């Protein structure tokens, strides 16, 4: 479908097929306590909530917004666990952060980095009540100097995708650092869809304005004027007929309040017949509008639905500047309603530059991009627990005029055991923690404040470098999840450990272990990236990013962008960069990792890798995926880089026999097969028809043809990618093991120990490997 928005596991008994009558098995998070897994409670709270500078949406709006896009109308900011898989914070209220959802941030716009995060403690110090930030702005000295008007903004940080919960026999267990069962696309889709729909519906907008203490009469007058002018400027078909214009402008309230220009005055009274005709036109147009919003993220559209959607999308895309302008007007009319520059709440009299800072203007322009999307971009359904992060980040910062197809969706990966990992991302393309985190902040919603500036400040960004530094150090502390600690030693079948360990040695260990130390001081663990032709898994994510960006490889275009943002920060804040905390962290990172490099996985090693003798990669011109250590893999289901294999047992099954359809939107775990629990075909039919993003539907179309060309010696490229990224083919390793060996291997992976750099501090030892032989202990 066309892209609309820009822009992110255990039951003691055997679970094979769960009935629909027992409990609600959506992604709702239950009442649970936080079991420390490397982070203390207060550290975890900071990890879940400190801002990366990607605070995209006004807090005053999100607390009032009604979800009008979803099947059931509801306050948008409630039940986020049930609707999108965003986890409710464990032990909420024990710490100072205000928002109760893991991964959601609350920060002041324009604020200096150390003052940005809004906490109960900081509000108390300023004498501000929590309810006040829903109705007021504050005047502050901004991050880049000067006096600015600042408001509370909501966003996300990395923990939304990289903290999870698994249900073991109905008991919720929090797994820090695990990929979440999260519908991040749905979260943003519904937020932006509900916002734009409200802005185009007078009745919805009237209710919204009344919540900002407008009287019903004031709210009705403003909403009618706003919606009429917005639709007029968008040039939406069916909304700008002569009769509709006369009907709207002839409303008594407008005449009484003189809320129109004299040129817009109707030349005569509107007859009842004409009024009825206009109202019928409006009903038809509104019906088309509703159909558009109902099908925003549905790739399976019939012709009529496609037309209804594309008609509106065309206008939103063509008139993105109009969308941005009216978002700014809406912000002025609501949070800044009492500002002197919002004179008499008349749209034509609002001085937007006097009301909104450059950052808030950039935020609204970014929202307009989220709403209007890309021209002619193919997008595959992301589904729960996945996103095409690289595609979206690349499109956001470098490919707006030539976007990549968004068909490279990948699993939200685990982020434990990363401090000594040599390269990051599924295809192992960078060694820089800071650079990947800068890119991530833009993927989540950080923006350039003044990208067209001519004075050398065009790379000034909202990215919060101080918090990125904190988050990086917190991530290093997250431990590999320990089954026996979180689930219990009594759940391990010790009789299977020795056979499983030997199966691991001969079928898994060679690929999923580090055989070499790299980096300046040879402290980093190198994990090999295996050529696609050897593993045979879906090629989309690895290959699509080889498309040139304005004649440049991705490594130069994207890395150049993030370097520009970093260098601008260094120039603006030399005292911060040289401060003890940040400088110490930068020096430690350089000692460990050396010169920052971005390796193009298709074109081979970079010049930097050779020049600085970092010895990070052995491979040359090939594309593929990195094989990570398997400690903690039990908490990472589903499997493969694109989440297309429901359990470890299925991964050990020949590809043609693997399950082709299963649910992604739940947390029930199958301990025997090590993966998500599966459901009956009958229940799948219901769930998949109601919410397609909740289901994985494997699609191997185009993948066999791609590999046939590769094996025939032809030069394949992104132009040969025709599938939607949802293939479960490949990774045939272990499929020929006996049933006993497979089940023993699964049991062994529950107790597999991490590398010594990440060794657990407690727990019994179940095995010992001496050479190529394993003995149970």
pLDDT at site 605 = 43
Q: pLDDT category, 607, cuts 50, 70, 90?
A: very low
Strands of 94-232 (E only): list them: 104-108, 138-141, 147-150, 152-156, 163-168, 171-176
Contacts with 716 (C-beta within 8 Å, 6 or more apart), sequence order: 543, 706, 709, 710
- Burial track 741-753 (b if 16+ CB lie within 10 A, e otherwise): bbbbbbbbbbbbb
Mind listing the pLDDT tens digit for each residue in 671-693?
A: 999 999 999 999 999 999 888 89
**83 Cβ contact partners less than 8 Å away, ≥ 6 residues apart:** 67, 70, 74, 183, 186, 187, 190
For residue range 279-320, list pLDDT tens digits in order.
665 566 555 555 544 444 444 556 665 665 666 666 666 778
Instruction: Give the model's pLDDT for residue 304.
Output: 63
CB–CB of 125/96 below 8 Å? no
Dihedral sign computed on CA atoms, order 300, 395, 641, 700: positive
Residue 261's pLDDT is 37
Q: Mean pLDDT score of the chain, rounded to an integer?
A: 81
As a whole number of angstroms, the distance between CA 674 and CA 487 comes to 13
Tokens 């604020």 belong to: 111
DSSP three-state, residue 733: coil
- pTM for this entry: 0.85
Mean pLDDT lowest among 31-35, 63-67, 706-710: 31-35
Position 283 scores a pLDDT of 63
Q: What is the mean pLDDT of residues 339-358?
A: 91
**Residues whose CB is less than 8 angstroms from the CB of residue 332 and which lie 6 or more positions away in sequence, other chains included:** 339, 341, 342, 350, 352, 355, 356
pLDDT band per the 50, 70, 90 thresholds, residue 713: confident
Q: What CA dihedral angle connects 179, 185, 191 and 195, to 10 degrees?
A: 160
Provide the pairing of β-strand 17-18 with 678-679: parallel
Q: What is the DSSP string of 34-100?
A: ---SSS-HHHHHHHHH---S-EEEEHHHHTT-EE-SSSS-EETTS-HHHHH-PPBPTTTTSSSB---
Does the pLDDT value for residue 611 go beyond 60?
no
pLDDT single digits (tens) 388-438: 887 887 777 667 677 788 898 999 989 898 887 777 766 666 666 667 778
Residue 748 near residue 503, CB atoms below 8 Å: yes
**pLDDT tens track for 130-149:** 999 998 899 999 999 999 99
pLDDT-above-90 percentage for the chain: 49
564: number of Cβ within 10 Å: 16
In this prediction, residues 478-495 reach a mean pLDDT of 94
What is the per-residue pLDDT for 594?
66
The predicted model gives 312-336 an average pLDDT of 86
Per-residue model confidence as pLDDT tens digits over 207-237 = 999 999 999 999 999 999 999 899 888 876 5
CA distance 289 to 286: 5
Query: 19 falls in which pLDDT band (50, 70, 90)?
Result: very low
Least confident stretch, 252-266, 316-330, 396-410: 252-266
Element (H, E) at 708: helix 703-711
In which band, very low, low, confident or very high, does the pLDDT at 170 lie, cut at 50, 70 and 90? confident
Q: Which two tokens stand for residue 515?
A: 């055989």
Q: What is the pLDDT of residue 28?
A: 44
Q: Which residues pair with 386 in a beta bridge?
A: 411
What are the backbone dihedrals phi and psi of residue 66, each rounded to the nearest 5 degrees, phi first? -100, 135
The CB-side HSE value for 705 (13 A sphere, CA atoms) comes to 9
- Select from 137, 133, 110 the least CA-distant residue to 122: 133
Which pLDDT score is estimated for 278?
A: 56
Run of H or E including 530: strand 529-531
The string of pLDDT tens digits covering residues 90-111 is 888 788 899 999 999 999 999 9
- Whether 259 has a pLDDT exceeding 50, the answer reads no
535-593 per-position pLDDT tens digit? 999 998 888 877 776 666 666 677 778 888 988 988 999 888 777 666 666 666 666 66
Is a pLDDT exceeding 60 seen at residue 357? Answer: yes
Question: Residue 419 corresponds to which tokens in the numbers above?
Answer: 């401090």
Cis peptide before 455 (omega within 30 of 0): no
Which residue do the tokens 């539907």 mark? 697
Q: For residue 187, give the H/E element and its range.
A: helix 184-199
**With bands split at pLDDT 50, 70 and 90, how would you rate the model's confidence at 522?**
confident
pLDDT at 530: 81
């Amino acid at each position: 479908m066309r892209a609309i928005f820009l822009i992110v596991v255990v039951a003691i008994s055997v679970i094979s097929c769960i009935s629909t009558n027992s409990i609600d098995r959506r992604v709702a998070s239950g009442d649970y306590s936080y079991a420390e897994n490397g982070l203390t409670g207060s550290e975890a709270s900071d990890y879940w909530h400190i801002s990366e500078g990607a605070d995209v949406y006004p807090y005053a709006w999100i607390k009032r917004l009604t979800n009008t896009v979803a099947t059931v109308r509801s306050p948008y900011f409630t039940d986020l666990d049930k609707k999108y898989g965003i986890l409710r914070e464990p032990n909420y209220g024990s710490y100072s952060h205000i928002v109760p959802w893991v991964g959601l941030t609350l920060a002041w716009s324009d604020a200096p980095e150390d003052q940005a995060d809004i906490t109960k403690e900081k509000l108390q110090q300023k004498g501000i009540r929590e309810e006040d930030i829903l109705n007021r702005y504050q005047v502050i000295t901004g991050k880049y100097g000067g006096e600015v008007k600042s408001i509370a903004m909501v966003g996300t940080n990395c923990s939304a995708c990289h903290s999870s919960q698994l249900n073991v026999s109905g008991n919720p267990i929090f797994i820090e650092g695990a990929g979440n069962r999260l519908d991040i696309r749905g979260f943003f889709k519904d937020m932006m869809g509900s916002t734009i729909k409200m802005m185009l519906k007078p009745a919805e907008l009237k209710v919204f304005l009344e919540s900002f203490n407008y009287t019903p009469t004031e709210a009705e007058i403003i909403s009618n004027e706003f919606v009429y002018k917005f639709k007029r400027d968008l040039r939406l078909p069916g909304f700008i007929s002569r009769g509709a214009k006369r009907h709207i402008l002839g409303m008594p309230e407008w005449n009484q309040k003189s809320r129109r220009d004299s040129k817009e005055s109707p030349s005569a009274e509107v007859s009842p017949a004409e009024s009825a005709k206009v109202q019928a036109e409006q009903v038809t147009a509104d019906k088309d509008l509703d159909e558009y919003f109902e099908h925003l993220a549905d790739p399976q559209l019939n012709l009529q639905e496609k037309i209804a959607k594309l008609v509106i999308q065309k206008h939103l895309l063509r008139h993105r500047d109009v969308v941005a302008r009216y978002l700014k007007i809406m912000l002025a009319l609501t949070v800044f309603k009492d500002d002197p520059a919002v004179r008499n709440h008349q749209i034509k009299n609002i001085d937007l530059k006097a009301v909104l800072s450059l950052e808030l203007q950039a935020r609204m322009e970014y929202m307009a991009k989220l709403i209007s999307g890309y021209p002619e971009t193919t997008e595959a359904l992301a589904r729960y627990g996945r996103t095409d992060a690289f595609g979206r980040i690349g499109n956001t910062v470098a490919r707006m005029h030539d976007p990549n197809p968004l068909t490279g969706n990948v699993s939200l990966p685990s982020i434990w055991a990363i401090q000594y990992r040599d390269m990051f991302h599924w295809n192992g393309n960078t060694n820089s923690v800071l650079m990947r985190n800068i890119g991530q902040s833009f993927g989540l919603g950080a923006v350039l404040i003044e990208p067209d500036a001519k004075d050398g400040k065009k790379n000034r960004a909202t990215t919060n470098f101080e918090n990125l530094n904190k988050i990086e150090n917190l991530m290093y502390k997250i431990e590999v999840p320990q089954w026996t600690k979180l689930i219990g030693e009594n759940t391990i079948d010790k009789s299977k450990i020795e056979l499983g360990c030997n199966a691991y040695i001969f079928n898994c260990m060679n690929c999923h272990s580090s055989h070499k130390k790299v980096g300046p001081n040879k402290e980093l663990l190198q994990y090999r990236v295996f050529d696609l032709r050897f593993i045979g898994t879906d090629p989309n994510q690895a290959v699509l990013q080889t498309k040139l960006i304005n004649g440049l490889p991705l490594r130069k275009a994207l890395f150049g962008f993030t370097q520009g943002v970093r260098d601008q920060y260094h120039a603006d804040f030399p005292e911060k960069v040289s401060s003890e905390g940040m400088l110490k962290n930068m020096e430690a990172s350089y000692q460990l990792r050396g010169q920052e490099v971005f390796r193009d996985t298709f074109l081979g090693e970079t010049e930097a890798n050779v020049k600085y003798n970092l010895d990070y990669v052995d491979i040359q011109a090939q594309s593929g995926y990195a094989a990570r250590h398997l400690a903690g893999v039990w908490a990472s289901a589903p499997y493969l880089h694109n989440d297309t294999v429901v359990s470890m047992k299925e991964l050990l099954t020949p590809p043609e026999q693997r399950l082709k359809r299963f649910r992604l939107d739940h947390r029930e775990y199958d301990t025997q097969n090590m993966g998500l629990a599966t459901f009956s075909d009958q229940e799948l039919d219901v769930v998949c028809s109601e919410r397609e993003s909740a289901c994985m539907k494997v699609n191997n179309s185009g993948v066999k043809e791609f590999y046939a060309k590769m094996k025939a010696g032809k030069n394949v490229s992104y132009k040969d990618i025709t599938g939607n990224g949802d293939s479960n083919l490949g990774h045939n390793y272990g499929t020929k093991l006996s049933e006993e060996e497979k089940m023993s291997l699964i049991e062994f992976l529950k107790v597999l120990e991490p590398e010594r750099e990440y060794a657990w501090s407690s727990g019994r030892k179940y095995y010992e490997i001496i050479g190529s032989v394993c003995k149970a202990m």
